[in-house]
Structure 1
Amino acid sequence: MPYVRTGAERLAADPALAGGDRLGLITNPTGVLPDLTPTADALLAAGLNLTALFGPEHGLRGTAQAAGAEPNAVDGRTGLPAYDTYESSGHSLIDLVASSGVDTLIFDIADVGARFYTYVWTMYDLMSAAARLRLRFVVLDRPNPLGGAVEEGPPLPGPEFASFVGRFPLPLRHGRTAGELAGLFGLDVELTVIEMHGWRREMTFAETGLPWVMPSVNMPTPDTALVYPGTGLLEGTNFSEGRGTTRPFELIGAPYLDERFAPALAALDLPGVRFREAWFTPMFHKHAATPVRGVQLHVHDPAAFRPVLTGLSILHVARTLHPDDLSWQGPELFLDRLWGSDALSRCLEAGGDPRELCPPPGRPEGSLLYA
């Protein structure tokens, strides 16, 4: 089966593509070649002078849960210093990168295609630090597991809602690769994108021929990534989004839901997805050790499926059936940060239909690297 050649594989075969003398690699468990050799090992074996490693949310090894990271340490396999970048930005991140002594930063982390997934914002913040320090920045491009043919949901409307789950006006499902985003951000940094060979925008992840490595502890399969731009919104509510189960973001529910919930979702006849009533007991996170009624999403037509519309439909049905039980005013108004504005929470508060907030899906435009 033909497979996509990633930027990491191309750099390992041609070390001159990187440039620079003292290289720092921003990576996590997804940074591997098709044979599962870690990118750091492959670049060292190719003769590149890696001098530091940098880890994002969840850590360099991927051991931490959401909103967690791993501390600064020495990487046992490579012997390189490993720096934790999570929740560092501005001057603190600039100081951290400066202390590492690198002259080039290389980014090799798989994204999942949703604006509120934090890895592209780690890239954004480190690109900003590189710009201030006059360092080179290299992106080893990887596929968007949702493909690149569709964008869905509204963009971030303005800087007042910018956060680490959205710093740039991207749609919720942005339809771009990390390399395309790096160019789109327009930061004043010497940028090189080592492009993939063989990736097309309509490709499913299975069609890339690449191994799936969990980007984070609650993103176990490509199916999870497919639903995440929609059911990820439930993190900002008192729903369980399935953390603490074996099918996070595919299993969703709440203790107050009744027998009407699954049939009401099925009656909407949403494109590409079916709903099965499901009971589950999260082992941790929201409603831990409490039996929860809800649904499992079964995506039968990925090309037709609209995750953002589906997430809004779930909220609409829950608000309609259980207006006194659904809540979303959690810590730091997290639903507003996930949506990118307070429009969704205001709509729910007024009893409106949040599906009206979702513009028709479109095709990504602008500086695209792939056809």
Structure 2
Amino acid sequence: MTRVRTGLERVAAGERRIGGARAGLITNPTGVLPDLTPSAPALLAAGVPVTALFGPEHGLRGTVQAGGGEADAADPDTGLPVFDTYGRSGAALDEVVASSGVDVLVFDINDVGTRFYTYLWTMYDLLASAGRLGLRFVVLDRPNPIGGVRVEGPLLDPGFAGFLGRLPVPIRHGLTAGEMALLAGRRLGVEPEVVPMEGWRREWYFDRTGLPWVMPSANMPTLDTALVYPGTGLLEGTNVSEGRGTTRPFELIGAPFVDGRFARELAALGLPGVRFRGAWFTPTAGKYAGTPVRGVQVHVTDREAFRPVLTGVSVLHVLRTLYPEDFACGPFLDSLWGSDSLRRALEAGEDPRGLCGSTGWSGPPEPLYR
């Protein structure tokens, strides 16, 4: 197998230089070399003058569940100050970056390829901050783990832009962090620098890259999770458990009001590349923690045929059809979907699967990989 070489590896090997007097590194546990050396010591060993670290959602060390970051502190391994960026943007984020004293920001985090995952929007906000503060911004590129060919889901309605999406891209967007940075730079009037990977092909899933999988967050344990997440992640906007607090988050779906009809109706749809197994589970955290619930496990049988967004919307449709008195969704679903069209269709009892047509997305204006 030909192994992909990440942007971090190229800088650590001395092939590309970052320069600057004081570098601020934006990273988390996914920022590693193939031998699992973290990016901060790897860059320091390569002579990059890293003087500050910045953590995204879940924190620099990845210890925090969704919706939080780790407090500012000192990194016990490098002694460098750590700044929490989660929940900050605009002037508040500028203040954090300015207080760090850096003159270049370096981004090294592996994303999961879904618009409503927040790491690329942390990158977007820090790129905007770098533009306002006159700092350079460098992206050490990494693979999109679910590939760069297939896209799915609607483009974000600008009226629903926020930390789950800043740019009008599909839910499954097919971009790498470097490509998203270039797209963001056009919007912001800033020119990021990208250290591209070597050897990555757009059709590759992460397990083809030869790189080690490191959990991007606590509820993203495997590539299987990342593959279903663009669809089953929509369950977070409902009163149905998306499997948080289990060993198969986003693959297990259930609620106390679900019965055996749910698995049978999903199987009858004949959705491409996926099967549904009736399942019981008891979440240890999140919705229905400590309560046995009934539902399904999602089993992807053919990656190439599987359409995660269509699958997720179909799950919502079946839930609304079978359990109209119990199933509920709220405004958070709008943020995930990128508009209120899905929620309105569900609340009206309409079939929302027609919303899963063409994305209208032509791909990155400056693709870095073919």
Q: Give the shorter-chain TM-score range.
A: over 0.9
- 2:346 is aligned to 348
Q: After superposition, what is the alpha-carbon deviation per residue over 1:75-111, rounded to whole angstroms, capped at 9, x for unaligned? A: 0100100000000100010011001010000000010
Within 5 Å, which residues of 2 pair with 1:95-244? 95-158=95-158, 160-185=159-184, 186=186, 187-244=188-245
2-structure distance, mates of 1:142, 1:105 = 17
Q: Which moved more, 1:168-177 or 1:351-360?
A: 351-360
Residue 175 of structure 2 contacts residue 364 of structure 2 at CA under 8 Å; is this kept in 1? Answer: no
**2:82 is equivalent to residue 82 of structure 1:** yes
- 2:334 is aligned to 336
**TM-score (norm: length of structure 2):** 0.97
Residue 233 of structure 1 contacts residue 335 of structure 1 at CA under 8 Å; is this kept in 2? Answer: yes
Q: After superposition, what is the alpha-carbon deviation per residue over 1:132-163, rounded to whole angstroms, capped at 9, x for unaligned? A: 001000000000011001110001122x2111
1:363 Cα shift?
6.8
Q: Which letter maps to 2:337?
A: W
Q: Which runs of 4+ in 1 moved over 4 A?
A: none
Residue 10 of structure 2 contacts residue 16 of structure 2 at CA under 8 Å; is this kept in 1? Answer: no
Q: After superposition, what is the alpha-carbon deviation per residue over 1:108-139, rounded to whole angstroms, capped at 9, x for unaligned? A: 00100000000000000000000000100000
Q: Helix, strand or coil: the match of 1:295?
A: strand
- 2:320 is aligned to 319
Q: Which letter maps to 2:119?
A: Y
**2:6 is equivalent to residue 28 of structure 1:** no
Residue 147 of structure 1 contacts residue 205 of structure 1 at CA under 8 Å; is this kept in 2? Answer: yes
Q: Which runs of 5+ in 2 are unaligned?
A: none
1-structure distance, mates of 2:366, 2:278 = 43
Q: Aligned in 2, Cα 1:265/1:363: closer, same or farther, shift over 3 Å?
A: farther
2-structure distance, mates of 1:363, 1:246 = 36
- Identical counterparts, % of pairs: 68
Q: Which runs of 5+ in 1 are unaligned?
A: none
Q: Helix, strand or coil: the match of 2:82?
A: strand
Residue 19 of structure 2 contacts residue 48 of structure 2 at CA under 8 Å; is this kept in 1? Answer: no
Q: Aligned in 2, Cα 1:143/1:189: closer, same or farther, shift over 3 Å?
A: same
What do you get for the CA RMSD once the two structures are aligned? Answer: 1.1
Q: Which letter maps to 2:51?
A: T
Residue 281 of structure 1 contacts residue 289 of structure 1 at CA under 8 Å; is this kept in 2? Answer: yes
Q: Which moved more, 1:39-48 or 1:125-134?
A: 39-48
Residue 135 of structure 1 contacts residue 190 of structure 1 at CA under 8 Å; is this kept in 2? Answer: no
Q: Helix, strand or coil: the match of 2:192?
A: strand
1:190 Cα shift?
3.5
1-structure distance, mates of 2:302, 2:357 = 21
- 1:268 is aligned to 269
